[in-house]
Structure 1
Amino acid sequence: MAKPRRSTSRSAPSDVQRAWLRRGLDQPGGKLPLFDERGQRVKKATVEACLKAGWAERWFDNPLKPDWLVCRLTEAGRSALTGNGQDGEVPADGAEDDARQGALI
């Protein structure tokens, strides 16, 4: 019997994806930035990979800049950042004990 297909090609975000997704944690509604800390536009490949993995979702269309993808963090994205729900993955922020005990972070 064939294995069910996963909706993501990766089980965890790359360092670049993780850095972008992490910036949505403190924003209202989980809004993800269009630009990085240096004022450079976030690469479209990063945004599309996170959308495909389900870690981010399109939020709304920008009528003034229709080519900009305005996105927000999903619950799956929050889980990928904290390590909750990952196959044995330990959170990168040192909260191993909290994650093992099922505590909310």
Structure 2
Amino acid sequence: MAKSRRSPSRSTPSGVQAAWLRRGLEQPGGKLPLFDDRGQRVKRPTVEACLRAGWAERWFDNPLKPDWLVCRLTAAGRDALDGPEHEGAAEVNGSADDVRQGALI
């Protein structure tokens, strides 16, 4: 049986996960997008991995599209984006403290 190359629990998001989570920093309530920059749906494994890690949480059910996971960024997700692997993102999007306090950059 082949072993998974990924650790079952990561302390920091992968590049794809961080890119998705980072988009919630600029949205009201930390809403995470359903679609990526190219208009494609965010892959379900990315969303589910972030939910399992506690970086995102289900926000509400979409009655028109019950299979879509409408999520928002959690405090743990903001903290994970502050990690050493993702420090460059804070410079582009403002610091996590600025975002938590509602500062506009």
Normalising TM by the smaller chain, what interval?
Answer: 0.7 to 0.9
Percent identity between matched residues is: 77
State TM-score, norm by structure 1.
0.75
Aligned to 2:50: 50
Spell out structure 1 runs of 4+ moving beyond 6 A: none
**Structure 1: gaps of 5 or more residues:** 1-7, 84-88, 96-102
CA distance in 1, matches of 2:50, 2:34: 13
Aligned to 2:33: 33
The correspondence for 2:97, drawn from 63, 84, 104, is: 104
Aligned to 1:17: 17
Rg (Cα) greater in structure: 1
**Structure 2: gaps of 5 or more residues:** 1-7, 91-95, 99-105
CA distance in 1, matches of 2:42, 2:89: 27
Deviation at 1:82, TM superposition (A): 1.4
State TM-score, norm by structure 2.
0.75
CA RMSD of aligned residues (A): 1.9
Q: Deviations along 1:40-98, whole A, 9 cap, x unmatched?
A: 00000000000000000000000000000000000000000112xxxxx3642187xxx
Q: Size of the alignment, in residue pairs?
A: 86
Q: Which has the higher contact order (CA 8 A, sep 6+)?
A: 2
